[in-house]
Structure 1
Amino acid sequence: MSRPQQSHLFLRYIAVALAPALLLGSFAWVGGWVRLPGGADALTPDRLVDSFEAVAGRHPGFRRNHAKGICVSGYFDGNGNGAALSRADVFTRGRTPVTGRFSAPGGNPAEADADTTVRSFALRFLPADGQEWRTGMNSAPVFAVRTPQAVYEQMQALRPDARTGRPDPAKVDTFVARYPETSALRDWLASHSPSSAFYNASYFSINAFRFTDAHGVTRFVRWSVVPDTPYAPLDEHDARASDPDFLAHDLRTRLKSGPVRWRLMLTPAGPGDPVDDATRAWPAERELHRIDAGTLVIDHAQSQIDGTCRDINFDPTVLPDGIAPSDDPLLAARSAAYAVSFNRRTREEAKAATSGH
């Protein structure tokens, strides 16, 4: 694939930059103690969310990233194997209700599905012990950059030029040169076409987390959900692609004939594997030791306007006992930025309701 094509794919995906929200984590970043280059003002969650709005525009009542989506619900049938890594109740044998959301990257809720290159899947597990596990996953296994500051600079580079309405290629090139780690994502996008459906894609945690078992043994783990439905790439000649909302419409149609399923796979880190850098994949041989923890089943879909996922902030640091965040700085950034996004959109919804609109 040519360099211009790679750059185009990278631009399409890069706006996925953050996914779900924080109550815990890096207080230094949340408190605004991370400085931007050249002595600029501190980078705060509000400034970061402002940068997303500058790229996609303001769309009141919608999430500032992953604005377009569909609510889903179902359950997780745990087989008990996950208990070898974590004492969390969700990994015992039994059924756990889940609420989720499929989405596309970006802050424009009207973007056509055919123009997106990545699928995202957020989940909220509600085990019987009353604890929660929330996670936000992407269909790419690595992230574009590794720090909140780099995310901010990324958004600055993608800000549309006032004359053309498009990002300035020179600014994007400067950003890529400053952050060579973006090559991992660009290379992956160049060799992986987007899936033709939400339900035939694998989704990845990207970040690592600390798993602690019943004996107090702690390991770093990344996870993925692998579909029972075989992956199929989106064909540019697919007639469905003319429908700007074909991903949601196709999912609803598919669910009429029965639920869709994934296997939840837990992959422990090996010695020397990076556990605080989401831009670096672990060696392929780690997958030889992954654990099949059970089956994720989605059997219902609802509109995001009034569905069960509407008021859920899929904060990846809302975790049950037995799972804890790693020191990956993006976890705090994801959490804090989505908390700001959640507060903004709920205030906008409340204002619209009281004004009679």
Structure 2
Amino acid sequence: MPLPQDERIVALANDLLAQFEQLFGAHPGHRPAHAKGILLKGTFTPSAEAPSLSSAAHLSRPSVPVFARFSNSTGVPVIPDSDPNANPRGLAIRFYLAEHSHTDIVAHSTDGFPTRDGYEFLELLKAIAASGPDTASPKPVELFLGSHPTALAFVQAPKPFPVSLATDTYFGVTAFEFTNADGKVTFGRYRIVPEAGNQFLTGEQAAALAPNAHYDELPQRLAAGPVRFHILVQLAEAGDVTDDATQHWPESRTLLPLGTLELTGVVPDNPAEQQKIIFDPIPRIEGIAPSADPLLELRAAAYLLSGRKRRTAPPTA
């Protein structure tokens, strides 16, 4: 996973990481965003339809081992699960193909992203940081949202509390270019749907959640049997925008079944493994390529820079 050669992207990634630290504080050994999490293990089994979309190695084998990390939003490692800022929840999946060979999916539980590129995202983070409770209206964040309708739509999108991290749907932020063995190219976005169905709490139930309720519940659920998700790809059609994460595609678009994610247990030495693993939003595998979305290289740079720093920190508890 190399750093981008464009120095502007690296500089912007560092600026974003510094802004996250200003918002959430310094927490060595933890991620600057989605700091609170749990790492599970399991397998991925591709569907019969998967090779028609892509020639990627994990889509043509009987199954491959995976790690999957569920997480809460913000860079606060102890954010209570009842805090509205814990939403959207995150899900990152690593597909292990061979020694030192893997590909990842990074998703969260709200469809889309608030800004088209990293410069606008940095503006948003700065506006949030400058909009404390004592700041007079219109606050900087109110002014930003008032002039950026896609960011306002993301902020206002419903973000219900799941009954379990295993009962929420997770969406890939960006589109990818899938190529099958015949050379057919299709753009698509990941969607990860729980086999148990979407199950959400009422506002009253969510407010009563214990601080670590979701992370205590998931191992108990696994003790009763595997947790399964169906990984789908929403397929773009002619005219659909593929380089802008703020643009939604119609729900009428085909959802192609890619395969089944089956999670069977918690990864041993969980804090150490979470501290070590660096997920990559760029696939870096034959058969799946990045789109021209400007968020991809930036996110990859930010993940790598923060991951390198995280690995050098003292072990987390």
Query: What TM-score comes out, normalization by structure 2 length?
Result: 0.91
Q: Which moved more, 1:297-306 or 1:332-341?
A: 297-306
Rounded to whole Å, the distance in 2 between the matches of 1:227 and 1:320 is 26
State the shift of 1:318 in Å.
4.0
**Are 1:339 and 2:304 an aligned pair?**
yes
Rounded to whole Å, the distance in 1 between the matches of 2:129 and 2:268 is 30
Q: Give the alignment of 1:211-250 within 5 angstroms.
A: 211-238=178-205, 241-250=208-217
**Structure 1 residue identity aligned to 2:59:** F
Q: 1:188 aligns with which of 149, 157, 167?
A: 157
Rounded to whole Å, the distance in 2 between the matches of 1:276 and 1:28 is 21
Percent identical across equivalent pairs?
Answer: 31
Rounded to whole Å, the distance in 2 between the matches of 1:274 and 1:161 is 33
RMSD: 2.5
Asked if 2 retains the 8 angstrom alpha-carbon contact of 1:69 and 1:304, the reply is no
- Gaps spanning 5+ residues in structure 1: where? 1-21, 33-43
SS of 1:143's partner is coil
**Alignment length, in residue pairs?**
315
Q: 1:297 aligns with which of 262, 284, 289?
A: 262
Seen in structure 2, the aligned counterparts of structure 1 residues 162 and 198 have a Cα distance that, compared at 3 Å, is closer
State the shift of 1:130 in Å.
6.5
1:111 counterpart residue number: 79
Provide, for residues 3-33 of structure 1, a one-character-per-residue CA deviation record: whole Å limited to 9, x for no partner.
xxxxxxxxxxxxxxxxxxx63667264254x
State the shift of 1:234 in Å.
2.1
Seen in structure 2, the aligned counterparts of structure 1 residues 343 and 169 have a Cα distance that, compared at 3 Å, is farther
Provide, for residues 260-316 of structure 1, a one-character-per-residue CA deviation record: whole Å limited to 9, x for no partner.
101111122101111011011101110xx2211221101112477535443111111
1:177 counterpart residue number: 146
Rounded to whole Å, the distance in 2 between the matches of 1:163 and 1:226 is 37
- Gaps spanning 5+ residues in structure 2: where? none
1:260 counterpart residue number: 227
Q: 2:21 aligns with which of 41, 53, 56?
A: 53
State the shift of 1:110 in Å.
1.2
**Are 1:147 and 2:117 an aligned pair?**
yes
**Structure 2 residue identity aligned to 1:138:** H
Q: Give the alignment of 1:50-89 within 5 angstroms.
A: 50-89=18-57
**Structure 2 residue identity aligned to 1:148:** G
**Are 1:275 and 2:275 an aligned pair?**
no
Asked if 2 retains the 8 angstrom alpha-carbon contact of 1:100 and 1:309, the reply is no
1:322 counterpart residue number: 287
2:278 counterpart residue number: 313
1:27 counterpart residue number: 6
Rounded to whole Å, the distance in 2 between the matches of 1:304 and 1:64 is 21
Rounded to whole Å, the distance in 2 between the matches of 1:184 and 1:79 is 34
Asked if 2 retains the 8 angstrom alpha-carbon contact of 1:79 and 1:92, the reply is no
Seen in structure 2, the aligned counterparts of structure 1 residues 315 and 239 have a Cα distance that, compared at 3 Å, is closer
Rounded to whole Å, the distance in 1 between the matches of 2:224 and 2:136 is 43
SS of 1:127's partner is strand
Provide, for residues 154-174 of structure 1, a one-character-per-residue CA deviation record: whole Å limited to 9, x for no partner.
11011166785x898611111
**Are 1:132 and 2:97 an aligned pair?**
no
Asked if 2 retains the 8 angstrom alpha-carbon contact of 1:148 and 1:330, the reply is yes
**Structure 2 residue identity aligned to 1:88:** A
SS of 1:214's partner is coil
Q: Which moved more, 1:294-303 or 1:88-97?
A: 294-303
1:5 counterpart residue number: none
Asked if 2 retains the 8 angstrom alpha-carbon contact of 1:210 and 1:219, the reply is yes
Query: What TM-score comes out, normalization by structure 1 length?
Result: 0.81
Rounded to whole Å, the distance in 2 between the matches of 1:304 and 1:218 is 40
Asked if 1 retains the 8 angstrom alpha-carbon contact of 2:36 and 2:72, the reply is yes
Seen in structure 2, the aligned counterparts of structure 1 residues 46 and 237 have a Cα distance that, compared at 3 Å, is same
1:284 counterpart residue number: 251
SS of 2:203's partner is coil
